[in-house]
Each structure stands twice: as structure tokens, then as C-alpha cells.
């Protein structure tokens, strides 16, 4: 459900301000996810500068990595981003609704059978990685007269989607003949976050060789991490995704990106337990002293992974309570977690206070380490029960909406 951000009237004729709507939403929210659109734009500009003279696109798939495809698309477009990548046709429809008609939208998952007309209706471009897809696309273009473009995806080592290099070479006569409708040739790096991976140089060599044969067609190889492999990897267009949203694209060095998300959850109870008492499912965490616990309304149903819990032999993740890091006690459950606040002053944490799960020094990448995963999965798993606030001059700073399941 979206919380109204324009003034409206109740049945009694009273004016309800956006601020009142926001306050009402936040007062009843058990968790609040704040997304800084200015930080996303700043990250895009930093990546754009690193890739000059290549064009810098924006990857907004998976609901803009959990940050909201429409506000993110609008913010990036206002900053000058002209090309966008999504994963599915549904995501393309959501992006098109937020973007100007001049924006190019590529759909990475390719062309599903009998879907060509749907692409044409919203003027988006399939990323074709199979000769059967290409044949179907050609038939559609010939019969309909539609002149919209498509990308050719060439597999240089991922072994996922894409034409083989040999199959791509077979398209060169078509490229030389003109009127081919191919607006981009691209591939995808396997190990771009590992600077010295030998796979990077092998993929670069293979892609450079085949892309050079696609005369007059722009080429693209690099994701966020690929940009930092240097100019040889950047070609005509770069496609940053996770870096836009604050995930470190250079894990062997300090993170050059600004943090984008701040996540808070509410304390619903303060309780004390005695030495020897256990906490949570399985009773795997035992109090070694009289312990004060804050019970926080967030769990794995909200995207806070069960792996971040603790036991008697392993310390788990931490959250920030009243400005101080405090450890999680016991397992994360579906809706709740317990936090050991014994070392805080007695009245520092109270029922109703918010604690910080991401922010105040806790990064997406740190949390990913505790989850046993990567920052991409942390962001795209952020739950549907959080209220959302978008801040920054590039978005609706006063907008607060109760997060609904992503439609893309």
C-alpha cells in the first residue's frame, strides 16, 4: 500500500498533509528502510567519471536492487543517464513508466517466445543470446516493420546466456550488409571483482576480437567492478549495477561508493534473563551473566538472514542500539531477533526505540559477510514489511510508503 504524499481530505473535510501521512506511517512501522537517491546519483557520476569517454548506463533490475525501480530510474534519468538495463519484460514496463521516451531500455533475459510485440509496444530492446531468439526477432521486424533495436549477447566465459563466439562470427555478413537492427554487442565478465584473475584477460581478448567485427555497433563488457579493471575493459558503454547502490565494486580495496540504504527496526520488548538461560530456537545461545535483551521486530521474513544469528561458540552480527554496537543473541527467527544490550546504560534502550541494522557504520557488505553471501543478495532481499522513505533532491524527499512486494 502506498502512503499518499499529496494533501488529501478525510470524510470530515480535514486536510491531511504529506508530513502527517509520513508520521502516521512511521509511527506504526516495525521497520524503516531509507533510500538516499542523491547517493545513488553520486555513485553513478563517480562511475561515469571513471569510465570516460564510455557512456555510463544504469542497471535497475530486481526493483533497482531492492531500492525501487521507479524512483531510482527517475533520479538517474534526471542526472543524465540515458541507457538502462533490466532483467525481465515486466521490469521494463515499470522502468518505461518512469523514464522519458528517449531512454533506451535493454532486457537482459532475452526474448521469450511470442513476446516480440510486447517489446515493441513499450519500445524496449531484447538482449538476444540465442540464434532461435534472433530468428524470431527477425521475423517480427520483417512482418511488423518495427525498427527498434536489440543487443547481441556473446558468451566469452560465463557459460550462461549468449551466442558462442563462432555463432557471433556468423552474423558479421549481416552487420556489413546494414539495416541489421543491432544497437549493442555485449558480454559479461566472470570475475571482475578479482583484479588479477586470468579469466578477465581471456574474456577481454575474446570480446575485443569479436566486437571489432561488429562495425559501427557500440560494445559493452564491464559491470561495476569491471569499470575499475581499467580503460581496456570499458569499451563504448559500461553497465554498473551493485556499485550504484553502495556495494563495494573493489573488494580488494576501500569502497569508493557512498552508502545508499539505512535500515532500522523497532524494539518491541525489553526483558532480563538469568545466567544459564537460553535464547531463541534450539537454545543454542546461553547467557553467561544476568542479561538484558532487546527484542527487535525484524527477522528472516524481512530479509535479515538466519545465518547472522549467534550461538555459544560463534558471535553473530551486530546492530546499533543507542549509538553503540550490540551483538545478536541466539538465532534469527522469522519476525524477531534478540539483541544483548547488557552493556548499555540502563535506560538507553526502551520499547518503541529504533535500532540500526544497516547504517551507522554497518555496511551492506559487512552484513553480507555475516549472511554468508554478497551485498547484491542483501539488497534484493530487503523485506516487504518495511516502510520506505526516499530522501534526496532527486526524489520525493517527503515520500514515505509502506513497502509492497516488488512488481518487477
One of 46, 49, 281, 391 is an active-site residue; which one? 281
Grid cell, residue 2, equals: 502506498
Our answer to whether residue 245 is catalytic in this structure is no
In order of 43, 164, 247, the CA distances from 224 in angstroms are 10, 24, 9
Are 249 and 375 within 8 A, CB to CB? no
- 338 Cβ contact list (under 8 Å, min separation 6): 279, 280, 293, 294, 295, 296, 328, 329, 330
Containing H/E element for 137?
A: helix 131-144
Containing H/E element for 63?
A: helix 61-65
**Which residues make beta-bridge pairs with 265?**
31, 355
Our answer to whether residue 61 is catalytic in this structure is yes
Determine the number of helices (DSSP H) and then strands (DSSP E) in the chain: 13, 22
One of 61, 106, 264, 304 is an active-site residue; which one? 61
Containing H/E element for 58?
A: strand 58-59
d(CA 72, CA 98): 9
What is the rounded radius of gyration, in angstroms, for the C-alpha atoms of the chain?
24
Strand 150-153 and strand 125-128: pairing? parallel
Q: Which residues are catalytic?
A: 61, 281
Amino acid at each position: 500500500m502506498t502512503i499518499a504524499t499529496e494533501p488529501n481530505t478525510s470524510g470530515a473535510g480535514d486536510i491531511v498533509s504529506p508530513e502527517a501521512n509520513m508520521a502516521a506511517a512511521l509511527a506504526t512501522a516495525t521497520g524503516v528502510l531509507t533510500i538516499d537517491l542523491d547517493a545513488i546519483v553520486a555513485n553513478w557520476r563517480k562511475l561515469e567519471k571513471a569510465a570516460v569517454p564510455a557512456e555510463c548506463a544504469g542497471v535497475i533490475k530486481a526493483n533497482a536492487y531492492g531500492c525501487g525501480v521507479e524512483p531510482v530510474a527517475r533520479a538517474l534519468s534526471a542526472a543524465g543517464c540515458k541507457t538502462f538495463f533490466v532483467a525481465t519484460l515486466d521490469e521494463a514496463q515499470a522502468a518505461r513508466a518512469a523514464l522519458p521516451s528517449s531512454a533506451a531500455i535493454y532486457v537482459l533475459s532475452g526474448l521469450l517466445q511470442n513476446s516480440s510485440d510486447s517489446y515493441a509496444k513499450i519500445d524496449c530492446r531484447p538482449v538476444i543470446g540465442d540464434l532461435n531468439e534472433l530468428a524470431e526477432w527477425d521475423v517480427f521486424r520483417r512482418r511488423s516493420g518495427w525498427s527498434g533495436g536489440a543487443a547481441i549477447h556473446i558468451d566469452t566465459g560465463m557459460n550462461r546466456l549468449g551466442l558462442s563466439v563462432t555463432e557471433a562470427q556468423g552474423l558479421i555478413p549481416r552487420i556489413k550488409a546494414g539495416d541489421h537492427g543491432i544497437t549493442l554487442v555485449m558480454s559479461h565478465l566472470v570475475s571482475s571483482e578479482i583484479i588479477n584473475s586470468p579469466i578477465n584477460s581471456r574474456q577481454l581478448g575474446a570480446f575485443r576480437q569479436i566486437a571489432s567485427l561488429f562495425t559501427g555497433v557500440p560494445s559493452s563488457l564491464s559491470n561495476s567492478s569491471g569499470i575499475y579493471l581499467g580503460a581496456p575493459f570499458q569499451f563504448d558503454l559500461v553497465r554498473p549495477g551493485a556499485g550504484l547502490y553502495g556495494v563495494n565494486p573493489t573488494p580488494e580495496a576501500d569502497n569508493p561508493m557512498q552508502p545508499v540504504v539505512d535500515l532500522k527496526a523497532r524494539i518491541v520488548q525489553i526483558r532480563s534473563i538469568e545466567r544459564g538461560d537460553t535464547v531463541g530456537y534450539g537454545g543454542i545461545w546461553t547467557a553467561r551473566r544476568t542479561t538484558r535483551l532487546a527484542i527487535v521486530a525484524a527477522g528472516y521474513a524481512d530479509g535479515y538472514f538466519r545465518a547472522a544469528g549467534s550461538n555459544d561458540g560463534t558471535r553473530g552480527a551486530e546492530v546499533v542500539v543507542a549509538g553503540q554496537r550490540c551483538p545478536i543473541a541466539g538465532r534469527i527467527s522469522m519476525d524477531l531477533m534478540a539483541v544483548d544490550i547488557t552493556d548499555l546504560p540502563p535506560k538507553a534502550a526502551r520499547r518503541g526505540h529504533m535500532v540500526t541494522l544497516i547504517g551507522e557504520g554497518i555496511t551492506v557488505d559487512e552484513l553480507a559477510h555475516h549472511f554468508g553471501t554478497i551485498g547484491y543478495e542483501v539488497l534484493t532481499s530487503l523485506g516487504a514489511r518495511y516502510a520506505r522513505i526516499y530522501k534526496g533532491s532527486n526524489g520525493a524527499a517527503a515520500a514515505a510508503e509502506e513497502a509492497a512486494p516488488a512488481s518487477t
